């Protein structure tokens, strides 16, 4: 049983979750924080347990779960006692090597279930590289991936198409843009040297870095943020797109009075998600009074 669950404030602004019923949103909150869950986001949850916790009947629970399945929030079937919160590793990312080791341990203990865990493996691979790019973590994820018949989750650089495992699905537009960039492998050939991706350090990076909104956390080093900035450029984001994404997010932080607080995302987290870079970051009037 996990001690607690973390709910990011962006949960309430998620467009997919705003499109479903109150019961489905309530169930989503439950799945992110319920006592039967774990820090992998893939766990055994008998329907009777959830119905008892929520004080729902079977019909209400099934309908809400089907709604969440429709928007891709969860993978679940009425005959399988396991649930998979698809983007859990993005919503509640590991922040240390110790946490990553624990999550991979949970993954290795997971029996082969009839659910799609492709996206969680993809996000876990990316996060393992972000926290600390240890080959041991990546190899262990690969072994689980092969057990599920999903193929190897190689670190970026081994295969050109795998460079944006750190984001979501690879669409045709992104794949086309990727072909215009050069990935320079490291000396040992295991991963790209991000300091030389797409040429020298972009001239506009310093301005972007200096304009990024300040939070309560200790500011990340310029070198660390540069790595994520270049990753974003390597998969096709342009200088203008990154600048506009920063502008939208800065405006959002200012309007919601988050500047200088713990609620400002770290620059590395902001750059590592297409959801962040492409989010409109609109401020909803009905919620402003609660900010």
Per-residue b or e along 207-244, where b marks 16 or more CB atoms closer than 10 Å to that residue's CB: ebbeebbebeeeebeeeebbbbbbbbbbbbbeeeebee
Write out the chain's pLDDT in tens, 291 residues. Answer: 555 567 878 788 888 899 999 999 999 999 998 888 898 999 999 999 999 999 999 999 999 999 999 999 999 876 768 999 998 888 888 878 888 888 999 989 988 888 888 888 888 888 887 776 578 888 888 888 888 776 555 544 443 344 344 334 333 433 434 333 343 443 444 333 334 344 467 878 888 998 998 887 667 788 888 888 988 887 778 888 899 999 999 988 888 888 878 788 888 888 888 778 888 887 544 434 333
C-alpha to C-alpha distance for 205 and 161, rounded to whole angstroms: 25
Query: Cα 225 vs. chain centroid, distance in angstroms?
Result: 17
Nearest alpha carbon to residue 30 among 15, 60, 19, 174: 60
pLDDT at 53: 94
Q: Which residues contact 280 (CB under 8 A, 6 or more apart)?
A: 248
Domain coordinates in residue numbering, the chain: 1-153, 169-288
pLDDT at 278: 84
Q: Say what the pTM is.
A: 0.53
């Amino acid at each position: 049983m996990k001690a607690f669950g973390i709910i990011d404030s962006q949960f309430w602004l998620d467009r997919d979750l705003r499109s479903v019923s109150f019961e489905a949103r309530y169930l989503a909150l439950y799945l992110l924080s319920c006592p039967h869950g774990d820090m992998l986001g893939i766990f055994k949850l008998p329907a009777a347990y959830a119905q008892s916790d929520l004080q729902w009947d079977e019909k209400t629970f099934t309908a809400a779960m089907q709604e969440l399945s429709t928007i891709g929030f969860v993978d679940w079937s009425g005959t399988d006692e396991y649930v998979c919160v698809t983007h859990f590793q993005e919503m509640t990312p590991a922040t240390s090597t110790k946490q990553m080791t624990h999550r991979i341990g949970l993954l290795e203990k997971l029996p082969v279930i009839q659910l799609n865990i492709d996206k969680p493996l993809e996000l876990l691979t990316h996060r393992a590289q972000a926290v600390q790019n240890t080959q041991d973590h990546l190899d262990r994820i690969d072994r689980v991936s092969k057990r599920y018949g999903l193929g190897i989750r190689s670190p970026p650089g081994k295969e050109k198409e795998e460079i944006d495992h750190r984001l979501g699905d690879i669409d045709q537009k992104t794949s086309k843009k990727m072909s215009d960039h050069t990935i320079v492998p490291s000396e040992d050939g295991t991963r790209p040297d991000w300091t030389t991706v797409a040429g020298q350090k972009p001239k506009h990076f310093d301005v972007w870095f200096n304009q990024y909104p300040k939070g309560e956390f200790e500011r990340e080093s310029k070198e660390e943020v540069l790595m994520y900035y270049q990753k974003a450029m390597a998969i096709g984001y342009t200088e203008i797109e990154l600048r506009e994404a920063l502008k939208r997010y800065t405006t959002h932080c200012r309007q919601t009075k988050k500047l200088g607080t713990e609620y400002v995302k770290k620059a590395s987290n902001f750059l590592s998600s297409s959801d962040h870079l492409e989010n409109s970051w609109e401020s909803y009037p009905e919620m402003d009074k609660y900010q």
